[in-house]
Structures are given as C-alpha cells and as structure tokens.
Amino acid sequence: MPAYIISDITVRDAAAFQTYRTRAAASIAQHGGHYLVRNGPIEKLEGDWSPRAIVIVEFPDLERARAWYRSPEYAFALEVRDQALSRNLILVGGVSQQG
C-alpha cells in the first residue's frame, strides 16, 4: 500500500531552499519515492488553510517512507532545512489499488 509525505512549506531563503531541494530529491529517489506534487498552483476550495506551497511524495509503503525520513541521505538535506524553509510535514498511508 502506498504512503505519502505531504509538506506545507514556506521558503525562508531561496538559495538554501535550492540546496535543500536538490539534496531531498536525491534522497527521495534513493528510497523509492517520487514527487506527485511539487509547488504547483493552489486553489483554496474550503476552510481556513492557506498554504503557500505543497509538496506530495509517494513511497511504495509506510516502511520505505519512514526509512527515508530517518536516513543519512535525508539527514544531509536536513542540515540546511531550518535556514531554507519552515513547514508542516505529515505521513499518510494510502489505499490499496486492489478491488
């Protein structure tokens, strides 16, 4: 069953963000993840949530997503995260594609 990392981000420093983004993308690929959404246009339909940028990454399953988040490869990206951005980040289990 797939799993999704969903980030609501606010960029703090554009140069640091590019460093973070490059490192994070490489680590995601190493752990079998891929981007579904990466800072596309946002249209608010309901509620008070007003995100500036959304990123959604799909992993094959929850275990692979957790392994990515705790990995040394992603830790390399986290070295610049606080300078680069602020965010809310969640992990969500998906639904089976069967039946």
Alpha-carbon span 27 to 39, nearest angstrom: 18
Alpha-carbon span 61 to 67, nearest angstrom: 10
CATH of range 3-43+51-85; options 2.30.30.90, 3.30.460.80, 3.30.300.30, 3.30.70.100: 3.30.70.100
In this predicted structure, what is the pLDDT of residue 96?
81
- Domain range list for the chain: 3-43+51-85
Average pLDDT value over all residues in the chain: 95
Which residue's structure tokens are 């069953």? 1
Tens-place pLDDT, residues 55-76: 999 999 999 999 999 999 999 9
Alpha-carbon span 11 to 31, nearest angstrom: 24
Parallel, antiparallel, or unpaired: how do β-strands 3-11 and 85-93 relate?
antiparallel
Phi (first) and psi of residue 59, to 5 degrees: -115, 160
Which residue's structure tokens are 């980030």? 7
Q: Is pLDDT at 99 greater than 70 in this prediction?
A: no
Alpha-carbon span 9 to 81, nearest angstrom: 11
What global pTM score does this model have?
A: 0.91
Mean pLDDT of 31-48: 95
